[in-house]
Structures are given as C-alpha cells and as structure tokens.
C-alpha cells in the first residue's frame, strides 16, 4: 500500500509534505479528456497497484471533462485504489469513487436531456442563429458527444464544423480581449 503522487502543473508542496514512493509530473500542460490521457498520468495509473493511494493536487487534474474522469474512476475502482485530493482536502475510498461516478452519470444524463436538438443547416449557408448553433455544439462536445455525430446532425461535414468552431473561438478571444481592455 504505497503513496503515489501525480502533479499536473503544481509544485510538490501542494501535496502537503506526504511521504510519497514516487511522483509523476507533467512536463507540458496537456489537456486530459475523454479521448486522451496525458503521458505522466498514464504512467502513474499503470504504476498503481491494488490498495495504493493516489495523491493529486485537485480532482480536475485527472481530466478536463466528465467522460475522461468517469473512465479514470473506473480504472481506479478496478484496482481498489484510494484518491486523496489535496486542494479539496478529501479522500475518496472505493465508496467515494462510486458516489463520484454516479454523480458524473447523473450530470451526463441531465446535460443530454437539456441539450436542444440541432437543426440541419441548408446547403452552403451558415444558419441564421449561427453563434447559438455553435455554442450548442460546443456544449455537446464538452458533454462527450463526438464531433462527427454533431456534424451529421447539423447536415455539414466535419471540416465545416471545425471551421465554425475555429471562427467562434477567435470571436470569443476578441470579446475577451475587449473586456480586458476596459
């Protein structure tokens, strides 16, 4: 039963001076989501043995979205690991991980119910409510819906969806820059 540490971008002092057998640190800020896990986190998770405690700076260090967090929780539960999050000051045993997993499932279902259906777009035209459609698409992407499914629902190619997302991202950056100037 070892204490293993994982740090995304925090200094080691975040882990509260706990004696750790090994610490895994990210070299770059790589977003970990439902489709990919950062290299240091992958190594850390593969090193964990049954009964080990994983010390992390914060729960959101494990994943940036619910799909990824749920996948990592399933992996940790399979090995009967405990997770201690130092920022939240909480220890998640097997029961705690299961409660967190159920809460994530509940949130995913609630998000899917609350998301409006996307209307198909007329050929070669941006929809009238373009920003609303893209914002809805972004929310669906964050909830774990694949971009290919969203593009199909909109009746556009994936490349078109990617272009729209890029344009929307640039517009949001400009809005943010304008707000910061004020």
Domain endpoint, select from 78, 111, 144: 111
Give the end of a domain, one of 92, 111, 130.
111
13, 99: one domain: yes
Please give the residue range of the domain that contains residue 98: 3-111
Q: Examine the domain organization and report whether 93 and 107 are in the same domain.
A: yes
Is 100 in the same domain as 37?
Answer: yes
pLDDT at 71: 83
Q: Specify the pLDDT at position 169.
A: 83
The CATH number of the domain where 153 resides is what?
1.10.10
Q: What's the CATH code of the domain at 24?
A: 3.40.50.1390
Look at residue 75 in the predicted model and tell me its pLDDT. 81
- At 39 the pLDDT is 81
Residues 9 and 43 in one domain: yes
What is the total count of domains within the chain? 2
Of 77, 94, 111, which marks where a domain is finished? 111
Q: Order across the sheet with 90-92: list the strands.
A: 22-25, 3-7, 53-56, 82-85, 90-92
What parts of the chain have a pLDDT lower than 70?
Answer: 12-13, 29-36, 111, 113-130, 182
Residue 102 is predicted with a pLDDT of 86
Q: Where are the alpha helices (DSSP H) in the chain?
A: 39-47, 66-78, 94-114, 130-142, 147-154, 158-181
Residues 170-179 pLDDT 10s: 877 887 777 7
- Domain co-membership, 106 together with 162: no
Q: What is the pLDDT of residue 76?
A: 82
The pLDDT of residue 126 is: 62
Q: Distance between CA atoms of 5 and 167, rounded to whole angstroms?
A: 39
Same structural domain for residues 28 and 75? yes
**pTM for this model (two decimals):** 0.58
Convert the pLDDT of each residue in 12-50 to its tens digit.
Answer: 667 777 888 888 888 776 655 555 677 888 888 888 888
Same domain, 126 and 175: yes
């Amino acid at each position: 039963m070892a204490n293993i540490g994982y740090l995304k971008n925090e200094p080691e002092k975040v882990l509260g001076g706990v004696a750790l057998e090994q610490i895994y640190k990210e070299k770059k800020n790589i977003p970990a989501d439902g489709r990919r896990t950062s290299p240091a986190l992958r190594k850390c998770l593969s090193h964990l043995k049954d009964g080990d405690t994983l010390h992390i700076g914060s729960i959101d260090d494990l994943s940036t979205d619910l799909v990824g967090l749920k996948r990592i929780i399933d992996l940790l539960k399979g090995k009967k690991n405990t997770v201690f999050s130092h920022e939240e000051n909480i220890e998640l045993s097997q029961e705690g991980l299961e409660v967190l997993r159920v809460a994530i499932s509940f949130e995913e279902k609630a998000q899917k119910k609350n998301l409006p259906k996307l209307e198909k777009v007329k050929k070669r035209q941006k929809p009238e409510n373009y920003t609303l459609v893209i914002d809805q698409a972004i929310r669906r992407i964050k909830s774990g819906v694949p971009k290919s499914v969203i593009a199909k629902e909109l009746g556009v190619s994936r490349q078109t969806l990617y272009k729209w997302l890029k344009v929307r991202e640039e517009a949001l950056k400009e809005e943010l820059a304008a707000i910061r100037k004020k």
